[in-house]
A and B are shown apart, each in its own frame.
Chain A
Amino acid sequence: MVTEARSGVLLFNLAATLARVAAAFILAMGFGTVIGVLMGRHRAVDRIADTWVVILLNLPALVIIVLAYVWVGLNEVAAIGAVALNKLPNAIVTVREGARALDRELDEVAEVFRMSHWVRLRHVLLPQLAPYIAAAARSGLSLVWKIVLVVELMGRSNGVGFEIGVAFHLFDIRLLLAYAIPFVIVMLAIETLLVQPFERHVARWRFRPA
């Protein structure tokens, strides 16, 4: 581990993996939130898209990854796209639940007082969706980083997944742990330093003492 760290290879591979995690996560959460809200609020959209969500939800990650590499090529777009696509249905389903639970009474307040779209989005819609988005983010982050490693193992020449593949071929447990342990530490740090404070922030009005 120390050798890998000293040479800078560890940091380089870690950074490559984290960049992929971030890109796929942002893509999946962004599209997932928009599609989830549309499906939750409009029956017609829900009916059309629901079958696809179920298919995507149940399609093995490996199938999506292989298809992406075969169709798009062995490149970064395919890698990140495949990870995002694996996470997407999960985000959609969670956010859709949130959109179904939206408070119609507050909608009417926004309507009567002619609030702008921006105000409605930021102060009426998003605070109601925030707990669902936080839940999707938490389960999504763990899903994304697990799948990123598989994607790297199969079709990339850098990243933690690639190095773990090398370790596997060499039966080098020390190299395997040298990558696995720092990775777990980084993900734990993201969870405690970013995801949990975000959850506390969006729920702060609930615990306000009288």
Chain B
Amino acid sequence: MSRAGDSGRLEIAVESLSLPQGSGASRQILGSIRFALGIGEIAALAGPSGCGKTTLLRAIAGLIGLQDGHVRLPKDGRLGFVFQEPRLLPWRDVETNVRLAAPEASDSECAAIFAALELTEHRRDFPASLSLGLARRVAIARAFAIRPNILLLDEPFVSLDTALALRLRQELMALIEARNVTSLIVTHDVDEAIALADRVLILSNRPARLIANLPIAIPRSERDAARTAPIRAAIMTHLSTN
């Protein structure tokens, strides 16, 4: 599968993953999940809440070891992660938070990312003084500063108001497209999945198996309600038959 210059290609092959529970017994969280994303492809990962989406993301990032299966990242893979909570260092200001994660990023790169996410005037602020929306932007800036070829985002727009979520979504898409980053975005919002993704991956209830892998062939700019109706119907069917 590995070709020359395939940086950014992500292959996932999970057979099963179990995690220890409080009682000492272990419980299976993930079942069979296999998919591959091409360079610059954006996939939305959907499924019932608590089904194991976050666990899959953590397994891909290497935060939990897979018992059975593998994740194939490109050799020169740099992986950016946006956790569901911003997870900034509270004792460091915004710019330092970004720079500590990406010591090799140049001043101009950082400045460009801050500008793209409207963070320039907040560079000296401490996380405690930021709203959730701003803190999320910092977490996104941190992930982009390492010049990732793979980006994992865990519900990056959850609990933001609609207008704010929409603006952040546009800014995020602009960054992803400009840098051609292969992205996997966890969401439980069907509209969001349709608006963002080239491909929608749907997981079942626990243990999560991949039950649908639906490409969206319509260009992003032409996705109006009428044209996306069939794909929406397909997604809803898969989500409701869980």
Contact = CB atoms under 8 A, between A and B. Distances in A.
B128 A205 contact: yes
B88 to A, nearest CB: 8
A111 B63 CA distance: 8
A109 B127 CA distance: 15
A127 B62 CA distance: 26
A117 to B, nearest CB: 13
Interface stretch (B18-26, B89-97, B232-240): B89-97
A210 B122 CA distance: 11
Contacts of A123: 89, 91-92, 96, 100
Interface string B62-74: 1100000000000
B142 A113 contact: yes
Contact of A105 (B83, B91, B100, B102): B83
B83 A205 contact: no
Please indicate which of the listed interface residues B91, B101, B128 has the most CB atoms of chain A within 10 Å of its own CB: B91
Contacts of A45: none
A112 interface: yes
The majority secondary structure among interface residues of chain B is loop
A206 B90 CA distance: 8
A112 B90 contact: no
A78 B146 CA distance: 52
B90 A205 contact: yes
A208 B146 contact: no
A209 interface: yes
Looking at chain B, what size class is its interface with the partner chain?
Answer: 20 to 34
Contact of A115 (B63, B85, B96, B101): B101
Contacts of B92: 123, 127, 205
A127 B91 contact: yes
A119 interface: yes
Contact of B102 (A113, A205, A206, A208): A113
Contact of A210 (B61, B79, B83, B129): B129
Contact of B87 (A105, A205, A208): A105
B129 A112 contact: no
Please indicate which of the listed interface residues B81, B100, B101, B126 has the most CB atoms of chain A within 10 Å of its own CB: B100
Please indicate which of the listed interface residues A105, A109, A208, A209 has the most CB atoms of chain B within 10 Å of its own CB: A109
B146 A113 contact: yes
B129 A209 contact: yes
Given A113-B101, A205-B126, A210-B129, A105 B85 contact: yes
Given A115-B101, A119-B100, A206 B128 contact: yes
B89 A112 contact: no
A23 interface: no
A124 interface: yes
A28 B69 CA distance: 48
Contacts of A127: 89, 91-92
Contacts of B102: 113
A106 interface: yes
Nearest to A126: B91
A161 to B, nearest CB: 40
Contact of B89 (A108, A111, A124, A209): A124
B128 A208 contact: yes
Nearest to B146: A113
Contact of B100 (A115, A205, A208): A115
The 9 closest A-B pairs by CB, nearest first: A113-B101, A210-B129, A127-B91, A205-B91, A112-B81, A208-B126, A109-B87, A205-B126, A105-B87
Interface of B: 61-63, 79, 81, 83, 85, 87, 89-92, 96, 100-103, 126, 128-129, 142, 146
29 contacts: A105-B83, A106-B87, A106-B89, A108-B63, A109-B87, A109-B89, A111-B62, A112-B61, A112-B63, A113-B81, A113-B100, A113-B101, A113-B102, A113-B142, A113-B146, A119-B100, A123-B91, A123-B92, A123-B100, A124-B89, A127-B92, A205-B90, A205-B128, A206-B128, A208-B126, A208-B128, A208-B129, A209-B129, A210-B128
Given A106-B89, A205-B126, 5 more contacts: A108-B63, A109-B83, A109-B87, A127-B89, A208-B128
